[in-house]
Amino acid sequence: MLTESTNDAEATALAALAATLTDERRARRFLDLTGLSPNELRARAGERSLLAATIAFLESHEPDLIAVAEEIGVKPAHLVAAGVALKA
């Protein structure tokens, strides 16, 4: 059974994924680092493991973490907490 916090973490990570993919530089780096094709990414976008990987990707480059957090209207710490929740 999914808890509300799990749903929140997934929604936050999905918003972060969308924000990541709307920036050409971030999107290219994300695809290059994950090895995913655009079709694979579309097929797996709702998977917890991919959503957690998105947060980890952002955490690895603080300027991107901060920029995406601002874009989706949350604090960077909220993104990090969503990543932790998705890995649990």
Q: Tens digit of pLDDT for each residue in 18-47?
A: 999 999 999 999 999 999 999 999 999 989
* In the predicted structure, residue 61 carries a pLDDT above the cut 60: yes
Residue pair 29/36 in contact (Cβ under 8 Å)? The answer is: no
> d(Cα 86, Cα 88) in Å, to the nearest integer?
5
**Confidence band, pLDDT 50/70/90 cuts, at residue 88:** confident
> d(Cα 47, Cα 43) in Å, to the nearest integer?
9
**pTM attached to this predicted model:** 0.90
Q: How many other C-beta atoms lie within 10 A of the C-beta of residue 85?
A: 21
